[in-house]
Amino acid sequence: MTEKAEKHVPLPAETHAFICANCGAVSLNPDGVCKVQGRMTRGDWCGTKSIEPAKICQNKLNNLRFKCGNCGRVAVDAGLLCEPEKMPEPD
């Protein structure tokens, strides 16, 4: 693979996502979060520093999470973050 093909390309800033009221993660699909709090765009989410520590969802169906290495925000879909890093799954 070429270096360009391996580089992460975030989704456009106007991409809509759903935010979880329980853990604060965002997802492209409302079924990807435990309790939908509302809808926002990727640009509203990633890029603003998070003051909350990254949380792991307690719902076993939704444990795969990515944390942005730049701002600390958490998402179910890596494309919603500018620098996604896979978070460890809970025991």
Cα 84 to Cα 18: distance, rounded to the nearest angstrom: 17
Torsional sign, CA 61, 91, 88, 25: positive
Task: Give me the pLDDT at residue 51, please.
Answer: 67
Task: Give me the pLDDT at residue 59, please.
Answer: 65
Whose structure tokens read 């460890």? 88
Q: Say if residue 60's pLDDT is above 60.
A: no
Task: Give me the pLDDT at residue 22, please.
Answer: 84
Task: Give me the pLDDT at residue 61, please.
Answer: 59
Distances (CA, A) of 82 to 35, 37, 49, 66, 73: 24, 22, 12, 11, 10
Instruction: Name which of 56-60, 65-69, 81-85 the model is least confident about.
Output: 56-60
Whole-number mean pLDDT of the chain? 81
The model's confidence at residue 89, banded by pLDDT at 50, 70 and 90, is confident
Task: Give me the pLDDT at residue 84, please.
Answer: 93
Cα 22 to Cα 59: distance, rounded to the nearest angstrom: 10
